[in-house]
Each structure stands twice: as structure tokens, then as C-alpha cells.
Structure 1
Amino acid sequence: MFRKKHNSHDNQEHDAKDQEQKIKELRAAIGPLYGSNLTFCTDACLRRYLEARNWNVDKSKKMLEETLKWRTTYKPEEILWHEVATESETGKLYRANFHDREGRTIIVMRPAKQNTSSHDNQLRHLVYVLENAILSLPEDQEQMVCLIDFTGWSLSNSPIKTARETANILQCHYPERLAVGFLYNPPRIFETFWKVVKYFLDSKTFLKAKFIYPKNKESMELLRKHFDLDVLPVEFGGRNQVQYNHEEFSKMMIAEDAVKASLRSLEEKTPQPGLAAQAS
């Protein structure tokens, strides 16, 4: 007798149904949500946490609960531009005005341009940029690309404490938001730093890190596969001569702060599930 073969379409449908069931199980496991937590925990959000924990509901629940606790105390959605603007004056971290070939949002980091010594403020700046970048994502995009220029970098630019906490925030509270990270032109001394930092990274994040060396044709070809050279800045081997403009970026962030304030106001006015029943 011949065994019936299952085609890939059938397998995909089965996987999709199984994933939807996992999302329902996770939502039931975390229980009732209110306010900003309710807004945060969309089905897409729950899917990212499940993917980060290989679709294990219990592990995903623990991870998500830790994020909700962090968001309740840290309040990332309430950070305003004027609170972190100083951190951005040199263009060490910002959302780019160009995209990769798949239309994904780009976060640019240039750690050699570090201009402050406040660990806490640097992390608040990072979170602010991430939150605004997520709000700016097109409806069909879930992930971002990170371009890190290590030209001129030294160990004094990146304390281990800040690097560890940065990795923790990205992995634990923004899972599956990073599509790929390009580490451009890292100096030889970076190898020592990387040996320490890689222990902070989970396996998925580690595999997303791609080292790009300007004199290495193979690694530069990888960068070109992801970016049109006409939009890629010259500091990353492209042809785009436009530089970071702090004044223009500030105007954009102030405008986005106003949009976030409107969304929070609307959220506060929206009746919360269960509260009407309790009042009656």
C-alpha cells in the first residue's frame, strides 16, 4: 500500500491552527488585562513571545509577565523626547529615514559618538527610540534592522554594564523585533568585548548578528543584498551622503510624542472589560 503524502499546504494550515491555539492558551494563562497592558498584548505581541520561547506556553507566560511588570514600573510609552534629547545630539542612536530592501525600519547606532556617562539615561534613550520605531512600523512589518557602525569605537564607549542591560532589554522586553543586526567595521579590540557580550545573548539573537568588514567582499555583498547602495549611508559603504540632523530628528520626535499622547488619552477614555460589570 502506498502512504498518503501530506503536501506543504496542509502542513502550513496545521501549523497555523496550532499556533492560533497556542496564542489562545497564552492569553487565557495571563488572565484579565487592563489599560496599557491590554493595549500592549495584541495577538501579534503574544505570537512574538511564543516564538521567542519556541511556542512553549509556560515559558512564554513567564517572559510576558516579566515584561508587563517592567512596563508597569518603567513606563516606556510615557518617555518624552525632551527627557532624552541630549543623548541623541551626536547621532549615536536614531531611527533612520531609509529602509532596507524589504521596507523594514532601520535603527542606526554609532557607539563611538557616545556623549554622556549616565547609564540610566542611555537606556531610557534606547527604549524611547525603540518604542517610537515600533509605532512607526507599517502594518505588515513586525521587525526592524539594526545598523551599528563601530568605526572609532573603543572599550570606553561601551561599558559592560550598559551592554548587558541593553541586551537584556532587547531580548526580554522586545522579543522577535530584531530581524538582523549588522556590526560594521568592528576593530580588532572588539573581539575581546564580543567574547563577553555574547554570553548575554540568547542563541536566536546571537545568530542575527552579522559582522561586516569593509575590505571583505563577501561580507559587503551581504550588506548589499539587504540595502540599496543609493540609500545606504557612506559610513556603511553606501552612496547616501545625508548625515544625521539633530534638529530635524527632534521635530519628528516631538510630533510623534503628540501622537502618543493622543493614543494614551484615547486609551484612558476607553471602557475596560469587566469594569462596567463591576460597577453595575
Structure 2
Amino acid sequence: MGVASQDAIDQLRALMDLVSEPLRATFQNVHQGYINETLVRFLKAREWNVSKAHKMLVDCLNWRVQNEIDNILSKPIIPPDLYRAVRDSQLIGLSGYSREGLPVFAIGVGLSTFDKASVHYYVQSHIQVNEYRDRVILPNTSKKHGRPITTSVKVLDMTGLKLSALNQIKLLTIISSIDDLNYPEKTNTYYIVNAPYIFSACWKVVKPLLQERTRKKVQVLPGSGRDELLKIMDYACLPHFCRKEGSGSSRHMDSGSENCYSLDHPFHQELYDYIRQQSRLHEAAEPIKQGSFHVDFPEPQAEGSEIAKTIESELNKFNLKINGD
């Protein structure tokens, strides 16, 4: 790291030393003892501009306080059947760890339907996974490896991607904006697998719109990506949809314990048990209420809005082409 970068970190750290409660308390939940690494993430997200990174970080902390994000891991989605419905329609899971110790998150982009609950439940679920990753998984793997591990790997399964994805763009833009503004630079690499033609068509026009640092993180792998992914992780850590040769996947191709999207997978069992345990600790002060945990949605960033519009335009063109044929 160069002198200029270290100067930027020192300047931002001096500014953050000035914040008072309750921002100071929520900042501890963000950095988990890895302050410099956290400052670097926000500096990278703002091209190493200290003033802009400081504003971004303070805005993030205010968002956390205003939306009680520190308490979101004590707010289970109940009843369990509703949570299972969310899991069945918002496909995400932890399949294992890379050989460097980075968590490997699998995301079923193509087969997620987001049609079993309100937007608020999906946003709540997404933020809970983020917070569990940052406050439990990453600190644990950092301790295990004896060094800071503050990012993860994401494997995006495009199996089943259809024109109906248009219906999900608004929700996906909301979730993407929450991540961009409040969880920046948490993904080391995005691996795209099982990409159908429709994805390839969109990717050609979306790729130039991405910032260079984001573009460099995206790798589109052939087929299921198995051979390439085995270079960075063991077979046991591959997402279930990457374990066979070629392309193609299925939401239900494996049993619950193998399918990392499923509520029956160990990751989701541990996550749900953790949230229920945390809720019991808060029960005396505040009884559990049924209903979603509402979080203010940020205005989509200019880049995200442009990308969403471009994808929508390309999908519409694709639809016209198919119907024209």
C-alpha cells in the first residue's frame, strides 16, 4: 500500500475518531475490530477521496441507527413456514470456503422468483445474511486463519434466467443499492456460471457501464464453472449447481443438506437458530412481533439505475426478437 493510500486511511480514521454515540457503537458492528480494512473498503468505493468516503461511511452509520440494523439479527421472520417460503424464492446460501478462507456464497439469480412474500421480507432476509456474514462468519474465519478476512466470493447461477426477470429488476435494484451504499467492497470476485444466451446478450451492454474496479471482479465461467472453481476451492465447497460437468442446474437437484439454498442446509439452520437465540435475549425487553422488519430503501445510485434500465431495454429487445421470429 502506497504512502498516499496510508495517508488517506489515517485521515479517514482521524475523522471517524470524532463521531459520537450512537454512531460509534454501530461502527463497531461494522468493523468488528478490523478498522483499517473497513476504512479501505469505503475509500475504494469512493476512489480514495477521503471527504466522499467519510460522507459515505457516516451516511451508512446513520442508516444503520435509523433502521435499527444492529438489532436485525434478533428479528426472525416468523412463522418458520414463511421463512421457508422466502428461502425457496430468494435463493442464496453458503456452500463453503475458498482455500484462502473466503466464504463462498451461492446465489440463484435465474431461479429466484421473489413471489412468496412482500418486498420488506426479502430486504430483511438479505440484510440478515449480510449482517451474519459480517458479524459472525467473517470474524470466525479471520480468527481461524489468523489474519483479517473481510470479503467473500459469490457464485451467481444464471440457470433459468428468463424474460420474467424484468419483474424482479426493481427489487434487485433496491437490494443492490443497499449493498453499494452500506456494504461496499464486500465481494472479492463474482463468478457467473450456467449463463444462457439471454445473459450473454445483456452482459455485452452492461459490462461497459460498470466501474472498472467492479468489472475486474466479474468472471464469466464456461458451463457450470466446476473446473475453474476447483482451482480456488475444494470439491466439497462447490455450490451444488457447480458439481456436475457442463451447464444446467436445478433448484431441487440435491437433498436439503446438499442444496445450499435450502432452509435444511446447515448454513440456513445455523443462521435461523442464531437469530432465534438472539431474539430470546431481547424478548424480555421487547416481545417478538409477527411481521416484516421495515428498512428504508435508498434511492438507487445513478450507475445502478442506468444498468437496470439497460437490462430492461435489452430484455425487451430480446423479447421482440423472439416474438418476431
Q: Percent identity?
A: 22
**Is 1:57 paired with 2:57?**
no
**d(CA) in 2 for partners of 1:38, 1:133:** 16
Distance 1:214 1:41, change over 3 A: closer
- 1:102 maps to 100
Contact 1:144 1:178 survives alignment (8 Å): yes
- 1:151 maps to 159
- 1:27 maps to 16
Corresponding residue SS for 2:43: helix
Distance 1:163 1:248, change over 3 A: closer
Amino acid at match of 1:251: Q
- 1:133 maps to 133
- Identify which range, 174-183 or 185-194, moves more after superposition: 185-194
Distance 1:123 1:196, change over 3 A: farther
Could you tell me how far 1:238 is from its partner in structure 2? 5.4
- State which of 70, 74, 77 in structure 1 corresponds to 2:67: 74
**d(CA) in 1 for partners of 2:132, 2:186:** 13
Q: How does 1:200-239 map to 2 (within 5 A)?
A: 201-214=210-223, 221-237=227-243
Contact 1:27 1:46 survives alignment (8 Å): no
- 1:8 maps to none
How many corresponding residue pairs? Answer: 249
Contact 1:112 1:151 survives alignment (8 Å): yes
Contact 2:27 2:61 survives alignment (8 Å): no
- 2:304 maps to none
- 2:259 maps to 243
Could you tell me how far 1:131 is from its partner in structure 2? 1.1
Q: TM-score, normalised by structure 1?
A: 0.74
CA RMSD of aligned residues (A): 3.3
Could you tell me how far 1:75 is from its partner in structure 2? 2.9
Contact 1:164 1:200 survives alignment (8 Å): no
Distance 1:91 1:55, change over 3 A: closer
Distance 1:81 1:94, change over 3 A: farther
Amino acid at match of 2:97: H
Amino acid at match of 2:196: P
Could you tell me how far 1:71 is from its partner in structure 2? 1.6
Distance 1:194 1:13, change over 3 A: closer
Give CA deviations for 1:113-139 in whole Å, capped at 9, x if unaligned. Answer: 324333333222221111111221122
**Is 1:89 paired with 2:88?**
yes
Give CA deviations for 1:73-104 in whole Å, capped at 9, x if unaligned. Answer: 333343334257231135711223x1112111
Contact 2:155 2:191 survives alignment (8 Å): yes
**d(CA) in 2 for partners of 1:27, 1:124:** 28
- 2:292 maps to none
Amino acid at match of 2:77: H
Contact 1:95 1:133 survives alignment (8 Å): no
Corresponding residue SS for 1:21: helix
Could you tell me how far 1:70 is from its partner in structure 2? 2.1
- State which of 258, 272, 275 in structure 2 corresponds to 1:257: 275
Corresponding residue SS for 1:107: strand
**d(CA) in 2 for partners of 1:173, 1:259:** 25
Could you tell me how far 1:105 is from its partner in structure 2? 0.8
- 1:175 maps to 184
- 2:39 maps to 46
Q: TM-score, normalised by structure 2?
A: 0.65
Contact 2:192 2:220 survives alignment (8 Å): yes
Amino acid at match of 1:246: L
**d(CA) in 2 for partners of 1:188, 1:147:** 18
Corresponding residue SS for 1:82: coil
Could you tell me how far 1:141 is from its partner in structure 2? 0.8
Distance 1:163 1:115, change over 3 A: closer
Amino acid at match of 1:31: V
Contact 1:26 1:46 survives alignment (8 Å): no
Could you tell me how far 1:264 is from its partner in structure 2? 8.3
Distance 1:128 1:172, change over 3 A: same
